[in-house]
């Protein structure tokens, strides 16, 4: 490989690494040096006759791209989690607002009733109008009226107690709404932070790929495919599926697989849940929603909340969780194959279930 091309690739990888470090929050940097004066010397033209990159160089690019897209996937999971929480908190805020409105209406009504009772007793010298009408020379009528007075006083006391409780409820609703609003704002900030990281990681990956010529991109794609095939072969060679005890898919599992495979060819877009684009967990969560089963939105929560099963026991419709941080998820479709939304720039596709490091398998609807 010519020194010009090798230097270009090395510089590209170095720049991309620097960009990804700059994308990490909280990193400290020295003060920038003064901007050098523009040079009047002519810029050296790139060596267009340099031979293409070697497989070794492209392998380094492949590994760096895998790292960048993996980090983007982690940030996407954080974005999706913040989005999901924001949806829940918005719904809770709406419910709290309804409670506050109803509480105020109830309090106004109680105040009106209490005021009416107070005015009635005032006009009757402490007795309601109906009690005054019952007063007569007949002791029985008088005692009956006195009993009604006592009942009226108890009712007024009950009104005042209910007013106090309603006022306390309103105060609590207001406090809860304030707390929910703060959580909502925090999740909005988390979404924004995750979005920036996703965009920077993807931009860095695209910048690195842009340094390659067309023929080099084609060879890079072949290297990526070969790496996936090697991983799949190594996984199958362990014999993990030789003694598989997996049964047939359930009716719901079959529906989920049918939904997921029907999306093959649709583009990956981070944060997307269909119907035209998907990210990895958007595909799996929507596939199971189509089967009538609600599961968590993110791959990490799918791993944490759903029932875990042994890899040898997995059946079509089960979800395969990848990488130690559970940052990717796919759906098993049988015969050692899965369907997934891989990463930016790719489409929903079938692939070997062992083509990436498997963390474990989970079963929705169990």
Q: Kindly list the distances between the CA atom of residue 9 and the CA atoms of 6, 205, 345, in Å, as whole numbers in the listed order.
A: 5, 13, 21
Kindly name the residue from 68, 82, 280, 356 that is annotated as catalytic: 280
C-beta separation of 121 from 114 below 8 A? no
Peptide bond into 275 cis (omega under 30): yes
Beta bridge partners of residue 308, listed in sequence order: 362
Dihedral pair phi/psi, residue 269, rounded to 5°: -140, 125
Q: Tally the residues of the chain.
A: 366
C-beta separation of 334 from 324 below 8 A? no
- Catalytic residue flag (residue 70): no
Dihedral pair phi/psi, residue 271, rounded to 5°: 80, 0
Q: Kindly list the distances between the CA atom of residue 334 and the CA atoms of 13, 79, 138, 181, in Å, as whole numbers in the listed order.
A: 38, 31, 93, 45
Kindly name the residue from 191, 328, 343, 363 that is annotated as catalytic: 328
330: left (phi over 0), alpha (psi -120 to 50) or beta: beta
d(CA 299, CA 285): 9
Separation of CA 287 from chain center: 16
- Catalytic residue flag (residue 17): no
By three-state DSSP, how is residue 278 classified? Answer: strand
**Residue 283 burial by Cβ neighbours in a 10 Å radius (0-12, 13-18, 19+):** buried
Strand intervals (E) in the chain: 307-309, 319-322, 328-334, 337-340, 349-352, 358-363
C-beta separation of 326 from 300 below 8 A? yes
- Residues 6 or more apart in contact with residue 54 via CB below 8 angstroms: 1
Q: What is the DSSP string of 74-103?
A: HHHHHHHHHHHHHHHHHHHHHHHHHHHHHH
- Catalytic residue flag (residue 340): yes
Supply the residues annotated as catalytic: 280, 328, 340
């Amino acid at each position: 490989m010519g020194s010009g091309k090798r230097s270009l690739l090395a510089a590209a990888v170095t720049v991309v690494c620097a960009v990804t470090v700059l994308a990490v929050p909280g990193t400290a940097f020295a003060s920038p040096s003064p901007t050098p004066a523009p040079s009047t010397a002519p810029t050296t033209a790139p060596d267009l006759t340099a031979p293409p990159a070697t497989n070794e160089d492209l392998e380094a690019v492949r590994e760096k791209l895998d790292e960048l897209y993996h980090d983007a996937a982690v940030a996407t999971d954080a974005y999706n989690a913040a989005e999901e929480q924001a949806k829940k908190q918005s719904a809770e805020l709406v419910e709290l607002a309804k409670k506050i409105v109803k509480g105020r209406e109830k309090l106004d009504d109680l105040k009106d009733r209490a005021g009416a009772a107070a005015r009635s007793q005032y006009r009757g010298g402490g007795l309601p109008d109906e009690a005054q009408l019952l007063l007569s020379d007949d002791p029985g009528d008088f005692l009956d009226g006195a009993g009604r007075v006592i009942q009226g006083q108890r009712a007024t006391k009950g009104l005042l107690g209910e007013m106090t409780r309603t006022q306390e409820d309103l105060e609590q609703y207001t406090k809860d709404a304030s707390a929910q609003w703060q959580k909502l704002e925090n999740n909005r900030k988390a979404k924004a932070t995750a979005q920036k990281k996703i965009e920077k990681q993807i931009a860095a990956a695209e910048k690195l790929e842009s340094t390659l010529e067309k023929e080099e991109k084609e060879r890079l794609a072949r290297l990526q495919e070969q790496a996936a095939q090697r991983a799949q072969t190594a996984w199958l060679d362990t014999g993990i599926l030789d003694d598989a005890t997996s049964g047939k898919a359930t009716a719901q599992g079959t529906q989920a697989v049918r939904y997921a495979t029907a999306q093959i060819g649709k583009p990956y877009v981070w944060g997307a849940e269909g119907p035209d684009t998907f990210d990895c967990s958007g595909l799996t969560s929507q596939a199971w929603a189509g089967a009538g089963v609600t599961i968590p939105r993110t791959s990490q929560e799918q791993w944490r909340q759903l029932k875990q099963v042994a890899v040898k026991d997995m059946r079509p419709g089960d979800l395969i969780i990848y990488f130690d941080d559970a940052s990717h998820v796919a759906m098993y479709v049988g015969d050692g194959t899965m369907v997934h939304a891989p990463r930016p720039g790719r489409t929903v596709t079938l692939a070997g279930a062992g083509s990436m490091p498997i963390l474990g398998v989970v079963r929705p609807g169990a």
